[in-house]
Amino acid sequence: MPHTTFQRAVAACHAALGIPPDYARTRSLDLQAPPPFWIEDGLDLQGRPVRLEPSASRAFHALTRAARDRGIVPVVVSSYRSLEHQARLVRQALGRGQPLASVLSRIAPPGFSEHHSGRAVDLSAAGEPEPLTEAFEGTAFYLWLTEEATRFGFALSYPRNNRAGFIYEPWHWAYRADPTA
């Protein structure tokens, strides 16, 4: 989808959800356009295809192999998300009566989720009872990621007190660059 078409879709989505037009700018959020294509890498925890941008896919395979070599079995909880999927997450939270400001501290506004880029993964490890909670920071996998993920080009996107104003997400890692470049 061309960049300007995506921007128009984002603006329409924000208007429908009641998100102010300048919201992303006030939070210093970058537009996260989808990749021209992605690679499907198996299924996530909920049985959806894991879709990653090609360079992120290659790096994630290398990261996964290295983690398995250390006895850790990575599980993808979420990867690529469409604009509509992100909007649905926001609508569901609003439908539960949560205020918009609270929702947008936990869920990136549509168009600004790193998941749109095909470079982000929400991670857990096989056997972990509570994915997508702060408890993940106490796992062997999280410790391994904090020590090794940069070797594969991945970084923790939302540490405590991050500049985007999102909650701490120890499970959310995004591919930033090809570490061999």
Contacts of 3 (CB under 8 A, 6+ apart): 31, 33
Give the Cα separation of 130 and 139 in Å (integer).
Answer: 11
Give the Cα separation of 50 and 57 in Å (integer).
Answer: 9
Domain boundaries, the chain: 1-31+83-112, 35-80+118-181
pTM of the model: 0.93
Reduced to 3 states (helix: H, G, I; strand: E, B; else coil), residue 146 is: helix
Q: Which residues pair with 128 in a beta bridge?
A: none
Q: Quick one: pLDDT at residue 81?
A: 95
**If we measure between CA atoms, which residue out of 91, 116, 134, 88 comes closest to residue 6?**
116
User: Per-residue pLDDT for 105 more than 60?
Assistant: yes
User: Per-residue pLDDT for 1 more than 50?
Assistant: no
Model confidence over 3-53: pLDDT tens digits?
789 999 999 999 999 999 999 999 999 999 999 999 998 999 999 999 999
Q: Domain 35-80+118-181 is of which CATH architecture?
A: 2-Layer Sandwich (3.30)
Supply the mean pLDDT for the chain.
94
Q: In Å, how far are 2, 16, 28, 108, 178 from 24, measured between CA atoms?
A: 20, 15, 6, 9, 27
